[in-house]
Structure 1
Amino acid sequence: LHSSPLECPPLGMESHKIESDQLSASSMSQYRFAPQRARLNMQGSEDEDNMRGGAWCANSEDRIHWFEIDARRDTEFTGVITQGRDSLNESDFVTSYYLAFSNDSREWTTIHDGYADWLFFGNSDMDTPVMNQLAEPVVARYIRIIPQSWNGSLCMRLEVLGCPLPDPADVQYRQNEVTPVDYLKFKHHSYSEMVALMKSVHEECPNITSLYSLGRSSKGREIMAMVISGNPTEHEIGEPELRFTAGIHGNEAVGREMLLLLMQYLCKEYKDRNPRAQQLVEGIRIHLVPSVNPDGHEEAFEVGPELSSWTTGHFTNDGFDIFQNFPDLNNILWDAEDKGMVPKLTPNHHVPIPDNLETNSSIAVETRAIISWMRSHPFVLGANFQGGETIVAYPYDSLRLNKPDEARVIADESLFRWLAVSYASTHLTMTHNYLSSCHGDTAAGGLGIVNRAKWKPITGSMNDFSYLHTNCFELSIFLGCDKFPHQSELAYEWEKNREAMLIFMEQVNRGIRGIVKDQQGNPIGNATISVEGINHDVTTAPTGDYWRLLNPGEYRVTARAEGFSPVTKLCVVGYQSGATACSFNLAKSNWDRIKQVRSCQTVL
């Protein structure tokens, strides 16, 4: 027997490692509260006709109730975490229960203290997870939770902690398991540990990294970023800029750890002259921001992976959900489109932020820092890593305020779908659609991608804002059902995501790129690049360079700038890697020449 409690991770109720056919129960009140709804942090629907109940709920007419998990192999069980039903209107949770174990699911042994069955105390509200650790581990294949008292209706969500015993038949298999590279440390980082790690990567690779801050959180913590590039401290003409952000919701820890691992990986592989790492670092200016919401990060970290609820640290300290806290520019553009004003009178890009929103107190300090950051770099492509689902969501994210039934299709939909597929299909498990979604509410099909507006529409999203206010195409990557998994899962998360992250970064070179200059060879900043047939333009950086993400094909591309005559070219995007060069030289327009001559005459 163990003198100290055995540290065992969750078996995978929340992460779906435990599959639905491993779960059974004495009864259910109705089908929407079936045993597969008993996963920790399961999110439900209030709609009675919807099959997504927020917990397993037993039939109240039965006298004996139990919930059973088949671990499928002998397991050292060390604890149970319980939670009530996810509901806006009801307050249902189990307040006490017994635990029983079996090797064959027929003969059961209830834990007792030598005198009587041991009664475990459960929840006192419906959301906060409560953990009960066993005084000594129990080895068995099956575990039953036997509720004894409850508040409201008998409903519960749960997770079980345990260490599966090695199966002799697995020895052969284990020899073939992927062993992660030894220089990476797989652990969860507090905010201060994260900053220390970023500094150590910078010290390890000072020539290709640079640290900076986007600004401060409401509690004064720096929102730290790392640039990785051949010339990290400045924009190089012709080099596209890419960003990965994570930790928008502080309890979604996987993205944060993936970005910290990616920094270490690129630094080490670049130093070891890995040609692919060299190509990425020297060809792209990569910005990584692992913790956009550092206050939420600290709040969730202090509670820890097992006891973080669905919303622990999700919001900023001031109560904002950063991801949906951006100015709503969609309805401004769509109203103008409905009136036939786009693009002649109202541009189809760089939609300005209304003055009243610039000063609005309903925009978080963290969101303001991100907006200012988005404007100050010529980003081409971005992704924000989130959690609680396993899918890539592409914009638009929002629906019309007055016509919520119709989802507007984004002008670059086929390109966004490609970007989403490039990540999802390279991720090791995202396209395994037979696993179904985490909460039963996505219609992803087998591709592992979904249009956000058709799935869970929100107004004021970071992705929509990025597309409508800047040149950057941004989408959301949801990394798994368990937002904050046990750190023993991080090595496998890295294996699942590493290649997908690298492939996604390489997509920044898909399409056309070039420089717009005048006839004296001076760069023209803020020139507009239009592609015939796609109602969304991009603009050149102050240095005159531009990038336009496009799928393979032939495109008529026009460059325009105030005071110059527009020029149109045919640009061909092939299937080979690398963007097609498509530069423009613009001549002063006749009208502009006349104005110049006139001003000279006036001077004379």
Structure 2
Amino acid sequence: MSPRLRKCNHNGYSFVYVDFAQGYMTNADLETAVKEFGRRCSNISRIYSIGKSVNGVPLWVIEISDKPGEEEAEPAFKYIGNVHGDEPVGRELLIFLANWLCDNHLKDPLATLIVENVHLHILPSMNPDGFSSRRRHNANKIDLNRNFPDQFFPVNDDDDSRQPETRAIMNWLRDIRFTASATLHGGALVANYPWDGTEDKKTNYYGSPDDETFRLMASIYSHSHYNMSSSKEFPGGITNGAAWYPIYGGMQDWNYIHAGCFELTLEVSDDKWPNAAELPVIWRYNKMSMLNLVASLVKTGVHGRIYSSGDGRPLPGFITVSGINYTVRAGTVFGDYHRLLAPGDRYQVVATMPGYKSKNTTIWLDDGPMTLDFVLDPEVSVKGSVLQNVYGCNCNSKCRQEFVQFLWGAHMELYFGFILILGFLCLLFQRRVRAKSSRAKRTVVV
């Protein structure tokens, strides 16, 4: 008899009990594995908890980076497993992923790229109570992937009734500015992207403002997978959530709307609870997908920083792209932004910041990443003279008159020549941006 099958007797009846958890880590095993990883890989990791489940089980997170716990001008990615208690494959795969990165940092180029250029956060189990009971819901019998505020209907708007696991995720995203993320589920084999619901609750395709970028992300995962892209049910191994089946109160849409985080829902195994002996094979099938999705944060898209021309300090401004109704916020410490975009197109990128003049530029985005920095000029007050507002000068009228005469005197020819040279350099920059270049990283300052 298989170790997963056990003979049981109840009220005189004999039956065979299937122990689905045989060979899987218990919650105690998982906590031990997380802490052991933290000790073994302390040079590139940090272990922390974002809260506790209904039954008080800590929600442990592994952060992997060359500078864990430090603020950097780098994108952050999060993986979450075991959202549904009866879908435990994700928690196992995420421990596989963490250990592979630790073992291969400075040995494998992809591992090195991720560790040194991304802050990766891994929450192996969002629903440890559901795992213990072998059930989909948490200990309060709530589906955690229906417990987030919804964009179409006023479900879950009451903060007091929100589940502790949901609250922990929401607080987590207030603390860390994630660029992208993915949750690992089971029961199908497909990469799912927003929107997850529709206004009329009908099952049909309903794309988000960044539909093209989400399709790219889903395709990166699907085509890196052993056989996901060859699906007969889902063309290319990807699907729009609402076109598959609408859900409301899902975590995926909430991430994108409220946290500026591009999230996918990944169904990584047709069997929700496969035999534990199959886990190494499932890891092998998903390994490159999981790695390539994280690496895509720095291998594609537009990245940069926003500065003030007045004192050079970083600005926590905003980045928008003409034609796409979505705003990305820059960081407060470094003024860095990370805007995921599908390559092979021309985009007009706009940087704004209250109290500053906005700037925009048109770029052609190739397959590789582009660095695009913005230097914004402060708005000038209309009160008083222009010179007073620009320079903060308390000079008397005679001082100002002498200064103006100096500007328009013998030095005018030098200034005019300088302006011509500056204009020529700007033209060269624009031509360089528009021209298709190689996959090498490009840097432009506007």
Q: Normalization by structure 2: what TM-score?
A: 0.79
Question: Which among 352, 371, 393 is matched to residue 170 of structure 2?
Answer: 371
Q: Does 2:5 align with 1:214?
A: no
Q: Does 2:371 align with 1:581?
A: yes
SS of equivalent to 2:42: coil
| Displacement of 1:554 | 2.1
Alignment of 1:485-524 (within 5 A): 485-509=274-298, 510-519=300-309, 520-524=311-315
CA shift digits 1:314-348 (9 cap, x unpaired): 1111111111210113469xxxxxxxxxxxxxxxx
Question: Which among 337, 341, 351 is matched to residue 546 of structure 1?
Answer: 337
The CA distance in 2 between the partners of 1:193 and 1:387, in whole Å, is 21
Contact 1:330–1:464 under 8 Å retained in 2: no
Question: Which among 89, 96, 106 is matched to residue 254 of structure 1?
Answer: 89
The CA distance in 2 between the partners of 1:403 and 1:275, in whole Å, is 45
Q: Does 2:88 align with 1:228?
A: no
The CA distance in 1 between the partners of 2:43 and 2:375, in whole Å, is 35
Question: Which among 532, 539, 560 is matched to residue 352 of structure 2?
Answer: 560
CA shift digits 1:175-227 (9 cap, x unpaired): xxxxxxxxxxx952111111111111111111100001111111111100000
SS of equivalent to 1:477: strand
Question: Which among 176, 189, 192 is matched to residue 25 of structure 2?
Answer: 189
Equivalent AA in structure 1 for residue 348 of structure 2: R
SS of equivalent to 1:499: helix
Question: Which among 200, 206, 227 is matched to residue 36 of structure 2?
Answer: 200
Identity of aligned residues (%): 31
**RMSD (CA atoms):** 2.8
SS of equivalent to 2:145: helix
| Displacement of 1:530 | 0.8
Alignment of 1:194-593 (within 5 A): 194-237=30-73, 239-270=74-105, 273-300=107-134, 312=135, 314-330=136-152, 357=157, 359-361=159-161, 363-400=162-199, 402=200, 404=202, 407-434=205-232, 443-445=233-235, 447-509=236-298, 510-519=300-309, 520-525=311-316, 527-543=317-333, 544-552=335-343, 553-576=345-368, 579-591=369-381
Further displaced range: 585-594 or 202-211 = 585-594
Match of 1:149 in 2: none
Q: Highest relative contact order (Cα 8 Å, sep 6+), 1 or 2?
A: 2
Contact 2:305–2:314 under 8 Å retained in 1: yes
Closer, same or farther: CA 491–584 of 1 in aligned 2, 3 Å = same
| Displacement of 1:360 | 3.6
SS of equivalent to 1:503: helix
CA shift digits 1:150-174 (9 cap, x unpaired): xxxxxxxxx9xxxxxxxxxxxxxxx
Q: Greater CA radius of gyration, 1 or 2?
A: 1
| Displacement of 1:357 | 2.7
Match of 2:418 in 1: none
SS of equivalent to 1:465: helix
Contact 2:189–2:228 under 8 Å retained in 1: yes
Contact 1:187–1:490 under 8 Å retained in 2: no
Q: Normalization by structure 1: what TM-score?
A: 0.59
Equivalent AA in structure 2 for residue 473 of structure 1: F
SS of equivalent to 1:278: helix
Contact 1:511–1:549 under 8 Å retained in 2: yes
The CA distance in 1 between the partners of 2:151 and 2:331, in whole Å, is 22
SS of equivalent to 1:546: strand
Contact 2:54–2:164 under 8 Å retained in 1: yes
| Displacement of 1:389 | 1.0
Contact 1:214–1:369 under 8 Å retained in 2: yes
Contact 1:210–1:232 under 8 Å retained in 2: yes
Closer, same or farther: CA 208–358 of 1 in aligned 2, 3 Å = farther
Match of 1:73 in 2: none
The CA distance in 1 between the partners of 2:66 and 2:383, in whole Å, is 41
SS of equivalent to 2:47: strand
SS of equivalent to 2:224: coil
